[in-house]
Amino acid sequence: MHAPAEQRSEIELELNGETRHGRTEPRTQLCDFLRHDLGATGVHVGCEHGVCGACTVLVDGVASRSCLMLAVQADGRRIDTVESLARDDVMNDLQQAFSRHHALQCGFCTSGILMSCVEFLQRVPTPDEAQVRDMLSGHLCRCTGYTGIVRAVLEVAGQRQSGESQQNASENPNDV
């Protein structure tokens, strides 16, 4: 199928739990659509060739490069971006651990890394360091040297296993 460039397609998707609509050209990358049409500027674009991982989002729960997908391919799907992680202005356990461990500096790669970590911890709830590093190999961070990121992920995995983090969250509902 070859659609003319100016032909716009109707897209309906679920973005961070809300149904969203837009019209865009068939060639529009998903990252551009999310950022510029739907306002999800937490999705960052670092290389547009699938190496840096900054644009990673969850597509139906699977961590995916939004620079390597077309917006039309996301029609009818569920997309979760970094903006979905905090609830009622409270950062989730992973975000809080990133701050504690100084796992970010400029923060540009962080959105994508967080989304990969979210999916990874669901698949691999008790990872060792080598597994965490292997998962992170799909991301480039130029600021941190990855140390804080690895520590944060391992800590959250441990906390979730011992149920600590849920307890903490309910004890400190106003923690901002």
Partner 1 sequence: MSDHSTETRADGSHIGRSQTRFEDQALLRGLGRYADDLATPPGTLHAAVVRSPHAHARVLSVDVSEALALKGVRAVLTGEDVKRWAHPFPVGVRGAPMEHWCLAVDKVRYVGEPVCVVIAEDRYRAEDALDLVRVQYEPLKPVIDPEKAAAEDAPVLHDAVGGNVVNERHFRYGDPDQAFEDADHRVSIKVRFPRNSCTPIECYVVVGQYQPATGVYDILSNFQGPYALHSVMARALNVTSNRLRLRTPPDSGGSFGIKQGVLTYVVLMGLAARKAGAPVKWVEDRLEHLQASSSATNRVADMEAAVDADGRVTALRYDQIDDCGGYLRAPEPATFYRMHGNLTGAYGIRNLAVRNRVVLTNKLPSGLNRGFGGGQMYFALERLMHQVARQLNLDPLEVMRRNLVPADAFPYRTASGALLDSGKYADTVDLALRDGGYQELIQRRDRARAEGKLYGVGLCAVVEPSISNMGYITTALTPEQRRKAGPKNGAVSTATIGIDPLGGITVHVSSTPQGQGHQTVVAQVVAEVLGVDPASILVNVELDTGKDPWSIASGNYSSRFAGAVAGAVHKAALQVRARLANIAATMWEADAERVRFAGGKVFIEDGPSLGFHRVAGTAHWSPALLPDNESGGLRETAFWTPPQLEAPDDDDHINSSLCHGFIFDYCGVEIDRVTGEVHIDRYVTCHDAGRLLNPMLVDGQIRGGFTQALGVALMEEFAYGEDGSFLSGTLADYLLPTAPEAVEPLILHTETPSPFTPLGAKGMGEGNNMSTPVCIANAVADALGRDDIQLPLTPSRVRGLIGIDEPPAPEGLEPLAAPRAGGPALQARDSVVVPASPQTVYDTVLDPETLRAIIPGCHALELEGENQYRADVTVGVGMIKARFAARVRLSDLDPPHSLRLSGSGDSAMGSASGSAHVTLVELDNGHTRLEYVYEVDVGGKIAAVGGRMLQSASKIIIGQVFNRLAQRLTGKPVGGGLWQRLRALIARLLGKGDAS
Which positions touch partner 1 (CB under 8 A)?
Answer: 5-6, 25, 27-28, 35, 40-49, 51-52, 54, 81-83, 85-86, 91, 95, 98-100, 102, 104-111, 114, 130, 132-134, 136-150, 172, 174-176
Nearer to partner 1, 3 or 76 (CB): 3
* Shortest CB 54 distance to partner 1, Å: 6
Nearer to partner 1, 76 or 123 (CB): 123
Residue listed under structure tokens 């674009």: 45
Structure tokens at 109: 């790669």
* Shortest CB 95 distance to partner 1, Å: 4
* Shortest CB 81 distance to partner 1, Å: 6
Q: Which amino acid is at 16?
A: N
Nearer to partner 1, 13 or 56 (CB): 56
Structure tokens at 9: 């397609």
Residue pair 144/103 in contact (Cβ under 8 Å)? The answer is yes
Q: Which amino acid is at 59?
A: V
What's 45-101 look like in SS3?
CCCCCCCCCCCEEEECCEEEECCCCEHHHHCCCEEECHHHCCECCECCHHHHHHHHC
Nearer to partner 1, 76 or 107 (CB): 107
Nearer to partner 1, 76 or 166 (CB): 166
**DSSP code of 23?**
E
Query: HSE of 133 in the Cβ direction (CA atoms, 13 Å)?
Result: 6
* Shortest CB 66 distance to partner 1, Å: 13
* Shortest CB 158 distance to partner 1, Å: 18
Residue 83 CB-density burial (10 A; 0-12 exposed, 13-18 middle, 19+ buried): middle
